Amino acid sequence: MLAVTGATGFVGQALLDRAVEEGAEVRALARRTQEPRDGLEWIAGDLENKAALRELMRGAEAVIHVAGVVNDAAQFESGNVTGTLNVIEAAKAEGISRFIHVSSLSAREPDLSAYGASKARAEKLVRASGLNWTIIRPPGVYGPRDQDYFEMFRLARWGLMPVPPKEGRASIIHVDDLARLLLAVVPGGEGVSFESFEPDDGRMDGWSHYELARAVGWAMGRRPWVVHLSRKSLERAARVDRRLRGAKARLTHDRVGYMAHPDWVVSHGQRPPGTLWRPLIPTREGLKATAQWYRQNNWL
């Protein structure tokens, strides 16, 4: 039995799909009523509801804590830090020792953004918890249902793709490869417990912003014009996005802080052990399948 938070989000849904497919029993937290599903028990509540968290944990063998706040800076502390503390306390109260925490590569540079700082503080709580923990720091995650990289696919269709400064490089990973990793580390043990991992698609030096933009364009059947934006230009674009989409803006001022950072390539020594897990989805194929999913589901 696995207890999962964040199960209705992008990564959480992929994790549920993979867990159920592999025959795991899952109990998952959700704010709103969800459709019944074999092998899955929904628990109504959120990270502030300590009674719901205790119910979520009861009888579980491990916790996979995926939930977190990504866009709303006002909620970073309560969602990412206090929320993680509540999950830890519920796990300890129910006698669960195994704890898998989904963090973010942004936690590596906490001074660049409020989001990264909140994820770094959450990691400190996990490390000090006394639980048998493993921390996963994903880079950019793409795949079906994702709303962040979706912006790149939509821009590619228009033929013009503004991207961060030219010198930047970043790693990415398909959501299903990430889901497989989260399940692979559940048993814990030597080389897995009390370790932090930075998984990716296997591309050793990551992707330049230009390379990734062209790859997304190829997936869309287009050859877009790629334009590198300075940090100041990104800040202006964030203000425009805020005026146009309000709280639903994807390019926030806080995100500009780490988008302008030149190095979001995973650390070679922090990759998961190859005997435990390897990425299976080649990125170009994954991008093309993602574009097809967006079309089939009328996102594009």
Distance CA 180, CA 14 (A): 9
Q: Length of the chain, please?
A: 300
Q: How many CB atoms lie within 10 A of CB 182?
A: 25
Give me the amino acid identity at 49: N
DSSP state of 274: T
**Are 69 and 117 spatial neighbours (Cβ–Cβ below 8 Å)?**
no
Locate the domains of the chain by residue range. Answer: 2-141+172-202+266-280
The pTM is what? 0.94
In order along its 300 residues, the chain shows pLDDT tens digits of 999 999 999 999 999 999 999 999 999 999 998 999 898 999 999 999 999 999 999 999 999 999 999 888 889 999 999 999 999 999 999 999 999 999 999 999 999 999 999 999 999 999 999 999 999 999 999 999 999 999 999 999 999 999 998 889 999 999 999 999 999 999 999 999 999 999 999 999 999 999 999 999 999 999 999 999 888 888 888 788 778 777 676 777 778 888 889 999 999 899 999 999 999 999 999 999 999 999 999 999
pLDDT for 257 equals 80
Partners of 133 in the β-ladder: 99
pLDDT for 244 equals 77
Helix (H) or strand (E) holding 291: helix 283-296
Helices and strands (H, E) in the chain, number of each type: 11, 14
Question: In sequence order, what are the residues at sequence separation of 6 or more whose Cβ sits closer than 8 angstroms to the Cβ of residue 182?
Answer: 15, 64, 66, 100, 102, 136
CATH code of domain 2-141+172-202+266-280: 3.40.50.720
Helix (H) or strand (E) holding 68: none
pLDDT for 179 equals 98
pLDDT for 178 equals 98
pLDDT for 267 equals 95
Distance CA 239, CA 243 (A): 6
Dihedral in degrees, nearest 10, Cα atoms 165, 250, 241, 107: -50
Query: What string of DSSP letters covers 104-155?
Result: -GGGGSTTS-HHHHHHHHHHHHHHTS-SEEEEE---EEESTT-SSTHHHHHH
Render pLDDT for 128-178 as a digit per residue (tens, 0 to 9): 999 999 999 999 999 999 999 999 999 999 999 999 988 899 999 999 999
pLDDT for 237 equals 80
pLDDT for 234 equals 85
Give me the amino acid identity at 290: T
Partners of 35 in the β-ladder: none
Helix (H) or strand (E) holding 72: none
